[in-house]
Amino acid sequence: GHQDGQHQILEHGELVIEQDRIIFVGFDYPGEVAERLDFGEAVISPGFIDLDALSDLDTTILAFDNQPAWQKGRVWPRSYIERGPYEMYTADELAFQKHFAFAQLIKNGITTALPIASLFYREWGETVAEFEAASEAAIDLGLRVYLGPAYRTGNQVVEADGRISTQFDEPRGLQGLADAIAFCQQHEGQNNDLIRTMLAPDRIETCTATLLQRSADAARDLDVPIRLHCCQSPTEIDIVRRLHDLTPPEWLEQVGFLSERALLPHATQVSGRDLDIIRDNGASIVHCPLVSGRHGGAIRSFARYKAMGQRIGLGTDTWPPDMILNMQVGLILCRLLDGNAQACRSEDYFDAATLGGAQALRRPDLG
């Protein structure tokens, strides 16, 4: 149950559903019911909200013991750019990925998902056609989703001497934004409002200022969330500093990107005023403890971020898309980094996976 702004445990409680609405949570429902189901030793809770939901066949697991990624073929080399990037999946394979991944999310208790997929295997960005197929998969499975094709104006490239630079194609990225806006306008609110939309510029180091500014303007006009991966790797930090002489949050604030609509995975690489900037602009951090931990990273720490007043939701972003495992790993990392077993509790992470996601999406009806 939920009361006084927080979750409540109601042992042997009752939940009454009428059509697509929960109309009662508590004890001794006074009204008539058409059917009564006793689930015995079970927990009935709000579904998890996954703000960075794995939606392709995650190949980052191949990098467990194959690091650094740029030396192992996980960043485009200059020679590949010169030959011309190409689509490595067929339309049918992309549709299958979404359908399979969405089923796995539901299996893990995730009922609201904002899909994420790698652009490494793509010619450039995601397409409207594949997200129309994703919409059909979500409708078929009954998953609440926020959909929008990812787009970018640039991509990381490994030069022959090992340097990592960024190759830009701004017109291509702006066309991707235009396509994403059209998708939002066409699909927002479909399937009895289970299909919502979002804007998804890919990574901060692959975006120009113009793309970010226009994306933020579009998110405001459409009133949809906008997600941008940032503060997640030393390489990203180096590229942004080299290009703009600012940290990622400083640059985002300068170009007017940050707002209460902004969702920022992963925030593991921060310094100076970065966290204050994110908090003061109302943006939400998307905490993905499992995938961050696999790559030797973590937010430092969940308890500290919460004490600062940061808005934090959770994401899976890797295989398995297991939110409970993410909560467990996050709990361990927080206690380890703080050196204190009482630094955070299980319910703190449960709240982040439910109420935190709802706050990030500005959805008081969820969580």
Secondary structure E strands in the chain: 2-3, 6-7, 14-18, 21-26, 48-54, 110-116, 144-147, 150-151, 154-158, 164-168, 195-197, 200-201, 226-227, 262-265, 284-287, 311-314
Question: In this structure, are 12 and 55 located in the same domain?
Answer: no
Residues 54 and 81 in one domain: yes
pLDDT in tens, 150-187: 999 999 899 888 888 888 999 999 999 999 999 999 99
Task: Tell me if 295 is assigned to some domain.
Answer: yes
Burial profile 321-352: b = 16 or more Cβ within 10 angstroms, e = fewer: bbbeebbebbbebbbebbeeeebbeeebbbbb
pLDDT of residue 59: 67
Q: How many domains does the chain have?
A: 2
Tell whether 24 and 153 lie within a shared domain.
Answer: no
> What's 190's domain CATH number?
3.20.20.140
Do 38 and 144 lie in one domain? The reply is: no
37 and 73, same domain (yes or no): no
CA distance 1 to 13: 9
Q: What count of other Cβ atoms lies within 10 Å of the Cβ of residue 109?
A: 17
Residues 50 and 37 in one domain: no
Closest by CA to 270, choosing from 283, 256, 259, is: 283
C-alpha span between 232 and 292 (Å, rounded):
8
Residue 18's CB: how many other CB atoms inside 10 A?
A: 11
Q: Is 367 part of a structural domain of the chain? A: no
- Angle of helix 170-187 versus helix 128-141 axis, rounded to 10: 30
Q: Can you read off the two tokens belonging to residue 283?
A: 């943006």
Backbone angles phi, psi at 21, to 5 degrees: -130, 140
State which H helix or E strand residue 324 sits in: helix 323-338
* 71-123 pLDDT tens trace: 766 788 898 888 989 999 999 999 999 999 999 999 999 999 999 998 988 99
* 31 and 144 fall within a common domain: no
Query: What are the E-state strand segments in 198-339?
Result: 200-201, 226-227, 262-265, 284-287, 311-314
DSSP per position, 166-185: EEE-HHHHHHHHHHHHHHHH
Q: How far is CA 292 from CA 148, 162, 267, in A?
A: 24, 24, 10
Contact 167, 115 (CB under 8 A): no
| Residues 261 and 199 occupy one common structural domain | yes
Ranges of the chain whose pLDDT falls below 50: none
Q: Dump the DSSP string for 329-358.
A: HHHHHHHHHHT-TTS--HHHHHHIIIIIHH
Query: Domain range for residue 9?
Result: 1-44
